[in-house]
Amino acid sequence: MIMADAAQTSTLSVDSEILDEGTSSPTTKKTKIALKRTRKSARLAGGPAATTSDASVVLTLMNRITKLENFVIALSSKFDAQERLIKELTPPILPTTNSLTANPPSKKRTCALYADIVKSDPLATQVSARLELASSLRTLDEKSVVAVLENLPDNLQGNQSISDNNFLDKLCASCPLLPKPVLNFRVKCVSPTVVSRPTKVKFSSQSDRDTFIRTFSKALREFADR
């Protein structure tokens, strides 16, 4: 109690010195200025009126920010709707190309839907691999019964197959060991300067083709009607 009374007495003494400006010393004036600043800071920092005003300002700012966010969202939705509408109303513009100089469409095109199915389904990948293997085996099987003859007489006309049939019939008749092919045709050549187009002959089995290849040169040398 004695210390509290002493502190109160000291405070009253300081206040009385501050109010008495006529007899104040330089030290007392400095104390007065510091006290005024302290009271002003206290009012700004902890006063009830200041706290209520700050809360009101913060609430107002938050409301404005919320309104701005809602406005931006509404504008974005409106822009998206307008963009979709413009795309729907705009007709597709095809590039103008000359039909004579335009590149022909490629024959080898992959269906996008089929490619997507093959990528996503492992079973489809296996089926595709088996189909590719079967196609390769079929190609090998077809090549195994086909032989190619070169430098045979060629008139470069459409009726050359008739002449080739007559020639092969006579050649096989002159040599009993020479198997007779079941089909023959000339290979198309791009260059117009080709003198003799290659002749492909097809047999009923691979063994007949192999026998024909081994015997053809000898039979051709001994053939009188060359």
Residues paired with 183 in a beta bridge: 202
Whether the full predicted model's pTM is greater than 0.85, yes or no, is no
Q: What is the pLDDT of residue 9?
A: 43
pLDDT in tens, 133-173: 677 767 766 778 889 888 888 887 777 888 888 899 999 99
Q: CB of 40 within 8 A of CB of 50?
A: no
Q: What is the pLDDT of residue 201?
A: 92
Q: Quick one: CA torsion of 92, 94, 95, 100, rounded to 10 degrees?
A: 180
Under-50 pLDDT residues of the chain: 1-28, 31, 34-35, 42
Q: What is the pLDDT of residue 211?
A: 92
Helix (H) or strand (E) holding 147: strand 146-149
Q: What is the pLDDT of residue 29?
A: 54
The domains found in the chain, sorted by start residue, are 111-141 (no CATH), 144-222 (3.30.70)
Q: What is the pLDDT of residue 214?
A: 92
